[in-house]
Structure 1
């Protein structure tokens, strides 16, 4: 039983189809990660091994972390940049084999750092599904200049295409900084008008909003409620976000 539980709002138990929290692992050690999950694992739904970090760590370490995360009913998955690297080097078959051997149940498919013809990206989603992986796909570019070239209509069209092709969630690019990308301006403030258009045309339960900064998390929770899906959450901020979702912090106290 949690302490002072009588003061807390209830949250959906896992597996959740809303109120999803995706946490970014930028290279945690096994003991550190396990200690963190021991206290906060019930609040995490997806765990992304950021960009290409998996390459610089030993297979046994990655495999052990994957299994540990899964033991807490968390879906660990490979970062999109790793997929893009495999695509660039014509190594998709080897990529899928390695992901499977390491125990990953899901992968991210993106084109944020590279140029992939949209139809080819859709075919990669189909192929990953056939290989037995859950797919989370990301829409948006990591270069702010290139990202601004993507119109809102194009962004929404791609999101819909990828959902129809088999992605379980669409990630809205914001990087780990959350500024000057996609639905965030140079100061990290949300472009609310654009967000309204997106949710008017796409089921919000299928969107995973990258919101690495507290003010962004507060914005989405106050706008859509504590069942909004949020991603790229720092491993240091798991408890902080959960308290925001439950109205246990000044920013959301009495507002949820």
Structure 2
């Protein structure tokens, strides 16, 4: 039983289809990660092994972390950059095989760092699904100049095509910093008119908004409610975000 639980807003228990929290693992040690999940794992739905971090750590450590996360009813998955490296080097078959061997039930498919024709990206989503993976796909570029070349209508078109191809969630790119990229301006403030346009033309329940900063998380919770799907959350901020969702911090108290 939680302390003072009678003062908290209720949240859906896992597995959740809304109010999803995706956390970024940038190379946590097994004991550190396990300790963190023992206290906060019930608030995490997806755990991304950031970009190519899996390459620089021993396989047995990755396997152990993957199994530990799954034991907490969390879906661990490989970062999109790892997929892009496999695509670029024509090693998709080997990539899928090793992801299976390491125990990953899901992968991220993106084209943020390299250029992949969109029809080829869609084919890769279908191929990953055929290989037994859940797919989260990301729309947007990591280079702000290239990202600005994508119109809102193009983003929405890509989102729909990727959803139709089998992606379970569409990630809205904001990187780890959340500034000057996608739906955030140079100061990290949300472009509300662009968000509204996306939501008017796409199913918001299928979107996972990358919102690494507290002010961004507050914005989305106040705008869309505490069941909004948020990602790229720092492992240090799991409890912080959950208290925001439950109206337990000054930013959201009395507003949820």
Question: Is residue 97 of structure 2 the alignment partner of residue 84 of structure 1?
Answer: no
Cα shift at 1:253 = 0.4
The whole-number CA distance in structure 2 between the counterparts of 1:211 and 1:222 is: 13
The whole-number CA distance in structure 2 between the counterparts of 1:143 and 1:136 is: 20
Question: Is residue 207 of structure 2 the alignment partner of residue 226 of structure 1?
Answer: no
In the alignment, which residue of structure 2 is the partner of 1:98? 98
In the alignment, which residue of structure 2 is the partner of 1:126? 126
In the alignment, which residue of structure 1 is the partner of 2:25? 25
Q: Residues 109-124 of structure 1 correspond to what in structure 2 (within 5 A)? A: 109-124=109-124
In the alignment, which residue of structure 2 is the partner of 1:217? 217
Question: Is residue 141 of structure 2 the alignment partner of residue 151 of structure 1?
Answer: no
**TM-score of the superposed pair, with normalisation by structure 1:** 1.00
Per-residue CA deviation, residues 190-213 of structure 1 (Å, 9 max, x unaligned), is 000000011111111100000000
The whole-number CA distance in structure 1 between the counterparts of 2:201 and 2:58 is: 43
Cα shift at 1:153 = 0.4
The whole-number CA distance in structure 2 between the counterparts of 1:91 and 1:45 is: 29
Cα shift at 1:100 = 0.2
In the alignment, which residue of structure 2 is the partner of 1:45? 45
Where 2:103 maps in the other structure, the secondary structure is: coil
The whole-number CA distance in structure 2 between the counterparts of 1:200 and 1:249 is: 30
Per-residue CA deviation, residues 142-187 of structure 1 (Å, 9 max, x unaligned), is 0000000000100010001000110000000000000000000000
In the alignment, which residue of structure 2 is the partner of 1:10? 10
Where 1:249 maps in the other structure, the secondary structure is: coil
Count of aligned pairs between the two proteins: 256
Where 1:149 maps in the other structure, the secondary structure is: coil
In the alignment, which residue of structure 1 is the partner of 2:186? 186
Where 2:28 maps in the other structure, the secondary structure is: coil
Cα shift at 1:222 = 0.1
Q: Residues 190-201 of structure 1 correspond to what in structure 2 (within 5 A)? A: 190-201=190-201
The whole-number CA distance in structure 2 between the counterparts of 1:195 and 1:157 is: 15
The whole-number CA distance in structure 1 between the counterparts of 2:241 and 2:204 is: 19
Moved over 4 A (4+): none
The whole-number CA distance in structure 2 between the counterparts of 1:12 and 1:204 is: 18
**TM-score of the superposed pair, with normalisation by structure 2:** 1.00
The runs of 5 or more residues in structure 2 that have no matched partner are none
Per-residue CA deviation, residues 99-135 of structure 1 (Å, 9 max, x unaligned), is 0000000000000000000000000000000000000
